[in-house]
Chains A and B, each alone.
Chain A
Amino acid sequence: MHTLTVSELAAGLRARKFSSLDLTLHFLGRIERLGPELNAFVTVTADRALDDARAADEALAKGAGGPLTGVPVAHKDIFCTDGIRTTCSSKMLSGFVAPYDATVVSRWRAAGTVLLGKTNMDEFAMGSSNETSYFGPVRNPWDHKRVPGGSSGGSAAAVAACIAPAATGTDTGGSIRQPAALTNLTGIKPTYGRVSRYGMIAYASSLDQAGVLARSAEDAALLLEAMSGFDPNDSTSVDRPVPNYAAELNQPLKGLRVGIIREFFGEGLDPAVEQRVRAAIGLLQQEGAVVRDVSLPSLPLSVPTYYVVAPAECSSNLSRFDGVRFGHRCEQPKDLLDLYKRSRGEGFGAEVKRRIMTGTYVLSAGYYDAYYLQAQKCRALIAADFARAFEDVDVVLSPTAPTAAFELGAKTSDPIAMYLNDIYSIAANLAGLPGISIPCGFVDVGGKDLPVGLQLVGPHFGESRLLAVSHQYQQHTDWHKRVAPGYA
């Protein structure tokens, strides 16, 4: 039952082959048995899941269910869930019970999904390996010695290990796509403004966007549609109709114009990863896609641009954690300044403090123009490169990450090495573009098969095309159907 896709589970539920309660108990059992070794969940909401499942079964019995009714899901612990602990994997929020649901949570709930729990993540979504979590690292189901990627590492591990059929993620610089690549999932980050961020704890507000981690493009289409759409509670939400993504999956590959990003096939790319991505390009070509080389010369500026813009916004966003209204408060503060400093010093982990301080520095008097303003200009150059490329091609393609999953601890002492892991994913966030990562093969590392992902990026609001290309590719390949040994 657990290896079925969301669409298969939904069809089984509607045909009454199994009840949502059966399904939910099955997944809760797997979470109990397999969850701890992966450390994928921060909070398991078993009682809530059973209530949701019973409600879904009632709806289904009346023939009232929708395409997701009764399907169990997990939420990244960055989304507020009314009455349920919401931690952002930080000591700062380890006791925080959200007073309302994020829009993403309420939309999936309205669609009839069952909430299994809240998944582990890098603290405040700052990280690329899920090692900055206050609740400890998440392990990759494909090799427990390796990271699942981050920051949506718990969601990725849970879905890859089939202990949740699908999960939400958020992506500020690759936090959906990179873990999807490292765990053999389909992960989509939609256009900035496509999905409401109300109730999604903010990291870098001009980059953050919510999305989906799933085991197929078809599932991603169903789930993305259910969370998308205008929300007056988010001032960056775009008022624009949501396409029926699932109905648009059959757009043919024939005639599709694919641009291969020259700058993303250079130094630092593992040759074995490149070979798998090149093989996928060959398949697209064989199916009638027109492939051409494209150059986006400003893309090498992406990572340094991001590490000015994101920390700057984070230093502002995280100023709300002051030890007064919610979150961790230090013991026996001697005055207000001491309360602020110690509450924040104790409540935040090392990487979060590092980014807050980086941001504070680049925004400080005398440095603003040299760093922040210059980064905003570089960002404009990157966005212009993409806009130019999309005059000639429908999508651009690259690897999602330069290597397969790396070992736990391999990059924790070197922040720059960790940052460079997002070298191919960050540009899409800077330009506000939608991106998707899909499985495209495996590399053998020390006798273990590790997944490789390829990334497609499209023009603003081009999710439908990205999903369709991915779905068509998945009709010709079965990489996405492979499940890590021991979890099938």
Chain B
Amino acid sequence: MSLTRTQVEGIAHLARLEITEAQMPVYVESLSRIIDFVEQLAAADTAGVEPMAHPLADQVQRLRPDAVSETDQREKFQQNAPSVAAGLYLVPKVIE
């Protein structure tokens, strides 16, 4: 196992994912296997190679004029929200 249970619990917390007790050993096992598998990249000779951040070498991020181009559709968008009131998204109390 390249990953311990404690490590996987830490990863799950960082990723904000609840993993049940029953599922945890399955994730420890499969994530360890995946990390072992990708470990083989370490053997590749990449000295002097520039990391590739974009599939098209000559692409640049476009800029657009800083002007309003969208109309307000808040009500439409909030129809998908689990809980809203007065145009606001509701979450459990954050500050006591």
Question: What does the 1/0 interface line of A408-440 toward B look like (CB < 8 Å)?
Answer: 000000011001000000000011100000000
Q: How far is the CA of A328 from the CA of B82 in the complex (A)?
A: 7
Closest to A362 in B: B38
Contact: A353 with B17, CB < 8 Å? yes
Closest to B36 in A: A416
Contact: B34 with A192, CB < 8 Å? no
Interface residues of A (CB under 8 A from B): 95-97, 99, 191-193, 206-207, 232, 235-236, 238, 298, 301, 304-305, 307-308, 315, 319, 322-329, 333-342, 344-346, 348, 350, 353-354, 356-358, 360-362, 364, 370-371, 373-381, 383, 415-416, 419, 430-432, 460
Q: Report, nearest first, the 5 A-B pairs whose CB atoms are least far apart.
A: A432-B55, A345-B18, A376-B51, A329-B82, A377-B46
Contact: A378 with B80, CB < 8 Å? no
Q: How far is the CA of A308 from the CA of B42 in the complex (A)?
A: 12
Contact: A99 with B80, CB < 8 Å? yes
Given A99-B73, A345-B17, A345-B18: A374 and B44 within 8 A (CB)?
yes
B35 proximal to A (CB < 8 A): yes
Q: How far is the CA of A322 from the CA of B41 in the complex (A)?
A: 33
Contact: A361 with B11, CB < 8 Å? yes
B61 proximal to A (CB < 8 A): yes
Contact: A380 with B31, CB < 8 Å? no
Closest to B47 in A: A377
Q: How many A-B residue pairs have CB under 8 A?
A: 169
B59 proximal to A (CB < 8 A): yes
Contact: A97 with B80, CB < 8 Å? yes
B86 proximal to A (CB < 8 A): no
B5 proximal to A (CB < 8 A): no
Q: How far is the CA of A375 from the CA of B37 in the complex (A)?
A: 13
Contact: B83 with A325, CB < 8 Å? no
Contact: A371 with B17, CB < 8 Å? no
What bracket does the count of chain B residues touching chain A fall in?
Answer: 35 or more
Contact: B89 with A325, CB < 8 Å? yes
Q: How far is the CA of A395 from the CA of B71 in the complex (A)?
A: 46
- With beta carbons under 8 angstroms apart, the residue of B3, B23, B44 that contacts A378 is B44
State how many angstroms separate the Cβ of A37 from the closest Cβ of chain B.
31
Contact: B52 with A379, CB < 8 Å? yes
Q: Which B residues touch A350, using CB under 8 A?
A: 23, 26
Q: How far is the CA of A358 from the CA of B17 in the complex (A)?
A: 12
Q: Which A residues touch B54, using CB under 8 A?
A: 206
Q: Which residue of B31, B46, B53 has the most chain A CB atoms within 10 A of its CB atom?
A: B46
Q: Which A residues touch B50, using CB under 8 A?
A: 377, 380
Q: How far is the CA of A238 from the CA of B61 in the complex (A)?
A: 10
Near A by CB (< 8 A), chain B positions 1-55 give 3, 7-8, 11-20, 23, 26-27, 30-31, 33-35, 37-42, 44, 46, 49-55
- With beta carbons under 8 angstroms apart, the residue of B30, B49, B76 that contacts A377 is B49
Q: How far is the CA of A458 from the CA of B26 in the complex (A)?
A: 40
Closest to B7 in A: A361
Contact: A206 with B41, CB < 8 Å? no
Q: Which A residues touch B79, using CB under 8 A?
A: 97, 99
B94 proximal to A (CB < 8 A): yes
Contact: B91 with A380, CB < 8 Å? no
Near A by CB (< 8 A), chain B positions 59-85 give 59, 61-62, 64, 73, 76-77, 79-83
- With beta carbons under 8 angstroms apart, the residue of B11, B53, B73, B80 that contacts A376 is B53
Closest to A356 in B: B15
Q: Which A residues touch B73, using CB under 8 A?
A: 99
Given A304-B40, A326-B80, A460-B56: A334 and B92 within 8 A (CB)?
yes
Given A304-B41, A345-B19, A360-B11: A416 and B33 within 8 A (CB)?
yes
Q: How far is the CA of A416 from the CA of B93 in the complex (A)?
A: 42
Contact: A361 with B44, CB < 8 Å? no
Q: Which B residues touch A337, using CB under 8 A?
A: 16
Contact: A371 with B80, CB < 8 Å? no
- With beta carbons under 8 angstroms apart, the residue of A329, A354, A377 that contacts B83 is A329
- With beta carbons under 8 angstroms apart, the residue of A298, A339, A357, A358 that contacts B91 is A339
- Sampled A-B contacts (14; CB under 8 Å): A97-B80, A236-B59, A301-B40, A304-B37, A307-B37, A308-B38, A339-B92, A353-B17, A354-B30, A360-B15, A364-B11, A379-B52, A383-B52, A416-B33
State how many angstroms separate the Cβ of A366 from the closest Cβ of chain B.
12
Q: How far is the CA of A308 from the CA of B39 in the complex (A)?
A: 10
Q: Which A residues touch B81, using CB under 8 A?
A: 324-326
State how many angstroms separate the Cβ of A172 from the closest Cβ of chain B.
12
Contacts beyond the supplied A357-B15, A383-B55: 12 A-B pairs with Cβ under 8 Å: A298-B44, A301-B44, A335-B94, A336-B94, A341-B16, A345-B18, A350-B26, A374-B46, A376-B53, A380-B50, A415-B30, A415-B33
Q: Which B residues touch A95, using CB under 8 A?
A: 80
Closest to B69 in A: A232
Q: Which A residues touch B40, using CB under 8 A?
A: 301, 304
